[in-house]
A and B are shown apart, each in its own frame.
Chain A
Amino acid sequence: MSGFSAIGLELAVVVGALAILMIGVCVSSERRSFLSYVAALFVGLVLLSSFLVSWPEKQAFFEGTYLVDGLALFFKRLFLVAAGFVLVMASGSSRETAIGVEFPVLVLIALAGMMFAASAGGFILLFVALELVTVTFYVLVAFARNTRRSLEAGVKFLIIGAVTSAFLVLGMAFVYGATGTMNFDELRVAPIDVGNKQLFDIGLVLVFVGVGFKLAAVPSQIWAPDVYEGAPAPVGAFLASGSKAVGLVLIVRVMNSTMLQGETLWAVLLAVSAVASILYGALCAIPQKDLKRLLGYSSIVTAGYLLIGLASGSEAGIGASLYYMTAYTFAALAVFTVVSIVFGASEPAEIVGLAGLYKRSPLLAVALTLSMISLAGIPPLAGFFGKFLLVKSAVGSAGLKTGLVVLIGVMVVGILISIYYYFGVIRAVYWVAPSKDGKSIIVTRSERVALIMLMVGLVWLGLFPGRLIRASSGAVGSIAPSRQAIAEVVKHDGERR
């Protein structure tokens, strides 16, 4: 396999983006709404073709900067799924709001960035890909440029994004200074002088802050509620699904490559961030009146849960995080789809506005209920299995790390609080009397298909989790052998000394 066939999926997405840009220039502006459909179909095709390749063995290209392994493939597929649904959502929104030709193109470019990030083999590609995603999102968040809220969200996202990018660069520089390498594989075995250990640790913390921005984990979580609230609904959906997953995969990659030198640091860092994220997000979500803002806080809580899986340190724990991320993606996409249909893409989404939704559109009511139940982690839906796996991995490692007991306790509290606020949404849908205009809501055929696919996904992952568990543990397993090999190398090294 040559380097260019290795990045085939990304190349396809970039070429697709350019092609759609060209077509968009050629057609008149009234007929551009089909471009989102074309983009969605195209993403679907790329997703299907991704199942033609399988990368059980890890391979590195472009002098080690680009990795091809199960983990990368897992996340690439997740990004493709997310982007496909986001594009369908955008096609529905484009009827009313002026979502022009740039929107699907930008989504595809962000998608390409995410897919590159999943394969990052070193800090260079990590940073470049992350910036590609982030800069694209600066535009996307402020896309509804005639509404103030969207612009405000864009500015907030820009400022905080820039600050955390600066942290990331600084952290990378520190790690490079301490180890002399930017490459993850070399970093894993790089000897660190005692004098440089502190520099290395600070570097890792800064990198965590920078990458945690994507994940919306404490301490870089502060943007999430404002941006989720202000951004157009499809963009919010992409932030909650694709962009969050980028944060996850990058933290897994960085953690995996620095585990040997920084084990205690990671344990503390992940645990503290997880506890803070869960408590901050859950407590702040209680009084929220706007559904999108509520999702912003719940996204912070989710980041905390994902970190618990990583904090347990076992392969099963990382696999559980991957599973939970997938489950969360489906639920978040479904909620944002409902929001964009009920309220319109860039309007505020007051929870009281959902009153009587079960009469106005039973499909939307059921979709919203199922995703809320899944987010709350109640069987038989996907979210339950995700939380089950997370608790299992945390309990499984609790014997080794006593701090995990605290994490489990915090998680239980977080789930309990989250049941309270998710239930408030269900309550609004079913047993609050509808306000004056009880007119039914039109759902286009493509949106209907997308919602049904998401609901089937939620139920399927909850009832038959075996396949995804195999996929996620396979993905984690594909980076683990090298870890074992490295351990041997280090041991060997020690003996030689």
Chain B
Amino acid sequence: MDPLTIIIAAPLAAAGLVAVIPGNYRFLIRVIALLATLLSAAVAIWVFAEFEPGASGLQFETRSVWVKSLGIGYHVGLDGVNVGLVLMGALVAFAAACVSREIAERVKEYYVLLLLMAGGILGAFLSWDMFGFYFFHELALVPTFLMIGIWGRGDDRVYATYQITLYLSFGALLVLVGLIAVYVQCGANTFDMVELHRHVAQTPIPAAAQRWMFPLLMFGFGVLVSLWPFHSWAPTGYAAAPTGVAMLHAGVIKKFGLLGLIRVALPLLPEGAREWIPVMGVLAVGNLLYGGWVAMRQSDLNRLLGYSSVAHMGFAFLGLASLTVLGVTGAVVVMIAHGFLAGLNFALSGYLRRVAGTTQMDRMGGLLDKVPFIGALLVMAMLAGCGVPGFANFVGELLVLFGAWEANKTWVVVAAWAGLVVGAVYTLRAVRTILHGPLRTELATVADPAGAWHRSAYALLVVALLLFGVVPGLLIARIEPDAKAVSGTIATGIEMKAAGEVGSIVRGAVAAAGVGVRQ
């Protein structure tokens, strides 16, 4: 079997296997889930290493017919954009399975759904068929709703479940209508994205049609990525979600919308994009400003993380809206970095919740003494969140700001201020309230996870953040050629010029990152 199919099939097959095991074999169920996600992660690392940057066409490509009469097929392959996303998704899925020890009831159902989520979203990332792309995403999305409802926490979990279900279903329906419109308007009788790209290059979709199709996709995908002002599901949902689900959704599944913009909306609808991109830019800055602003007022750690993840999505949107090679590259790096970061953040907050019994920050304090390992990781995660050099987020955010400078300088100033200054305020304040100050008496028995094995999931995510922060070339070399292709379809004169300079600027950014680390 080819490697990409293994990445998708391992969790899905494990879900099927767990479903037929009696529910009281908890250990066996857990081992199967861990092995399946580990297998996916290992294969994902292998294909990431084997991936040849800059080679033309898709790598590790496999295709077969699914529904012939409609032009639907199973088509998976890697390009520079999804190779990093798949790596991130598989690693976060493994970490999410690791930290799911906290689940005590209905273990079997939990792992079946978690594995469906993991397999589904990896399938969506790998799919080059619009139908498969949507299909796999829904496969991952629906378990999210059920899991928040069944294993969720907090008083308003029922409300949160309904909100996230209706909001995201609405987004997904808009996307569905948009994708079908793309299929119909192309008239190529295929859902295959590669063939659609080829077809559109020769016979573009009529501009009038693009003008109504692009907003459909932009807002549809936007709702799924919590584009401001359609973000309100995110903090409530993540606050109520069980740890593993919050990690997978905030870290991985959410990136589907951005990938959809990169794969479908921008390259296939360039005319529509040109018209609507300024709107997306404004909303992206809205994400950064509003998300950060509201995050400052939060007293609950999970809500703070939810709003900060809304804010971070602003960088990704801004990068895409710039339509420059640097911006698009940066957006993809942000997607990957934020995936690791959100996974780490929610894993840590889940741990704190388990040992401290709360995520209210003012009911914690002085925890650094008691949990040096978790505390140190929390500090690192928070620093990464406010864009400190050395972490992968910094690379992405910097590239986005460079890229956006070409497009609109005011946005960049506002975005940089919102992302870096406001971000620093809320993250550092969280660090202070949770980790420093006097220890509360009821938290005296709190301790770190025992043993290297139980710490490995957290460590894994930090290592990934640091690795891509220190050696961003690993990602950028892979992303850049395809980012060039994406922005190239829409490129106007100015952006072409930027494309020429990209090499030197990327090297500059990398150097800056290196300097940051050394300091």
Which B-chain residue is minimally distant from A426 (CB atoms)?
A: B146
Chain B positions within 8 Å of A466 at CB level: 66-69
A423 touches B162 (CB 8 A): yes
B173 touches A412 (CB 8 A): yes
Kindly specify which of A73-81, A384-392, A445-453 makes contact with the partner chain: A384-392
Decide yes or no whether A431 CB sits under 8 A from chain B.
yes
Q: Which of A86-94, A298-306, A373-381 contacts B (4 or more CB under 8 A)?
A: A373-381
How far in angstroms is the closest Cβ of chain A from B214? 15
Given A391-B176, A430-B149, A469-B70, check contact A419 B165 (CB 8 Å). Answer: yes
Residues of A within 8 A of B149 (CB): 426-427, 430-431
A460 proximal to B (CB < 8 A): no
Number of A-B contacts (CB under 8 A): 67
Is B62 on the interface with A (CB-CB < 8 A)?
no
CA distance A473 to B384 in the complex (A): 55
Is B183 part of the contact surface with A, judged by Cβ < 8 Å?
yes
A396 at the interface (CB under 8 A from B): yes
Contact with A392, one of B135, B158, B183 (Cβ below 8 angstroms):
B183
Separation in Å of the A321 CB from the closest CB of chain B?
16
Measured CB to CB, the nearest residue on chain A to B206 is: A399
A416 near B145: Cβ-Cβ < 8 Å: no
Asked whether A419 lies within 8 Å of B169 as measured between CB atoms, the reply is yes
Contact status B174-A412, CB under 8 Å: yes
The verdict on A408 contacting chain B, using a C-beta distance below 8 Å, is yes
| A408 in contact with B69 (CB, 8 Å) | no
- The A interface is mostly helix, strand or loop, or mixed, namely helix
Is residue A279 contacting chain B, with contact meaning CB distance below 8 A? Answer: no
A465, CB-defined interface residue at 8 Å? yes
1/0 per position for A422-434, CB-CB distance to B under 8 A? 0100110011000
Residues of A within 8 A of B166 (CB): 416, 419-420
Q: Is B169 touching A430 in the complex (CB atoms < 8 A)? A: no
Q: A412-B174, A426-B146, A431-B150 are in contact. Are A473 and B162 (CB under 8 A)?
A: no
Q: How far is the CA of A74 from the CA of B359 in the complex (A)?
A: 58
Q: Looking at chain A, what size class is its interface with the partner chain?
A: 20 to 34
Contacting residue for B138 out of A384, A430, A473, CB 8 A: A384
For window 52-75 of B, CB contacts with A under 8 Å fall at 66-70
**B184 engages A392 (CB within 8 Å):** yes
| Inter-subunit contact A391/B177 (CB<8 Å) | yes
A373 and chain B: residue at smallest CB distance:
B142
Given contacts A373-B142, A395-B181, contact A379 B135 (CB under 8 A): yes
Determine the chain A residues whose CB is within 8 A of the CB of B66 once the complex forms: 466
Label chain B's interface by main secondary structure: helix
Cβ-defined partner of B69 (8 Å) among A373, A391, A431, A470:
A470
> How many Å lie between the Cα of A289 and that of B24 in the bound state?
34
Whether B45 sits at the interface, judged by CB under 8 Å, is no
In the complex, which residues of chain A have a beta carbon less than 8 angstroms from the beta carbon of B176?
388, 391
A415: interface (CB < 8 Å): yes
A472 → chain B closest CB, angstroms = 11
CB neighbours (8 Å) of A395 from chain B are: 177, 180-181, 184
Minimum Cβ distance to chain A for residue B16 (Å): 11
Least distance between B357 CB and chain A CB atoms (Å): 22
With a cutoff of 8 Å between Cβ atoms, the chain A residues found around residue B379 in the complex are none
Chain B 145-178 residues near chain A, CB threshold 8 A: 145-146, 149-150, 158, 161-162, 165-166, 169-170, 173-174, 176-177
Q: Does B477 contact A (CB under 8 A)?
A: no
B117-136 with Cβ < 8 A to chain A? 134-135
* CB of B471 within 8 Å of the partner chain: no
Q: How far is the CB of B151 from chain A (nearest CB, A)?
A: 9
Q: Which residues of A contact B134 (CB under 8 A)?
A: 379
Say whether A380 contacts B139, CB under 8 Å. yes
> In angstroms, how far is the closest chain A Cβ from the Cβ of B293?
30
Cβ contact within 8 Å between A396 and B184: yes
Contact among B70, B138, B146 with A379 in the assembled complex (CB-CB below 8 Å): B138
Highest count of chain B CB atoms <10 Å: which of A380, A395, A396, A426: A395
* Contact residues of A between 394 and 415, Cβ < 8 Å to B: 395-396, 399, 408, 412, 415
CA distance A384 to B180 in the complex (A): 14
Interchain CB contact under 8 A, A423 and B145? yes
Please report the C-alpha to C-alpha distance between residue A470 and residue B67 in the assembled complex, in whole angstroms: 10
Interchain CA distance A391-B70 in the complex, whole Å: 13
Residue contact A416 to B183, C-beta cutoff 8 Å: no
Q: Are A415 and B146 in contact (CB under 8 A)?
A: no
**Contact mask for chain A residues 346-357; partner B; CB cutoff 8 A; 1 contact, 0 none:** 000000000000
Q: Given A412-B177, A416-B173, is A379 in contact with B69 using a C-beta cutoff of 8 Å?
A: no
Contact with B along A467-481 (1 / 0, CB 8 A): 001100100000000
Please judge, given known A-B contacts A416-B169, A469-B70, whether A430 and B162 are in contact too, CB under 8 Å. Answer: no
Whole-angstrom distance between the alpha carbons of A224 and B183 in the complex?
37
**Minimal Cβ-Cβ distance residue in B for A424:** B162
Question: B173-209 toward A: CB 8 Å interface, digit per residue (1/0)?
Answer: 1101100110110000000000000000000000000
Give A365's nearest chain B residue, CB to CB: B109
Residues in chain B near residue A378, CB distance under 8 A: 138, 142
Chain B proximity mask over A195-223: 1 for CB below 8 Å, otherwise 0: 00000000000000000000000000000
The answer on a CB contact under 8 Å between B177 and A408 is: yes
Question: Could you say which of A379, A392, A396, A423 has the most chain B C-beta atoms within 10 Å of its C-beta?
Answer: A379
Contacts of A430 in B (CB 8 A): 146, 149-150
* A-B CB proximity, top 5 nearest: A379-B138, A466-B67, A396-B184, A395-B180, A412-B173
Could you name 25 residue pairs across A and B whose Cβ atoms are closer than 8 Å?
A: A379-B134, A379-B142, A384-B138, A388-B180, A391-B180, A392-B70, A392-B180, A395-B177, A399-B184, A412-B170, A412-B173, A415-B169, A416-B166, A416-B169, A416-B173, A420-B165, A420-B166, A423-B162, A426-B149, A427-B149, A427-B161, A430-B146, A466-B68, A469-B70, A473-B69
Q: Please give the residue numbers on chain B whose beta carbons come within 8 Å of chain A beta carbons, in ascending order.
A: 66-70, 134-135, 138-139, 142, 145-146, 149-150, 158, 161-162, 165-166, 169-170, 173-174, 176-177, 180-181, 183-184
12 new A-B contacts, CB < 8 A, other than A378-B138, A380-B138, A466-B69, are A384-B138, A391-B177, A391-B180, A395-B177, A395-B180, A396-B184, A412-B170, A415-B173, A416-B170, A430-B146, A466-B67, A470-B69
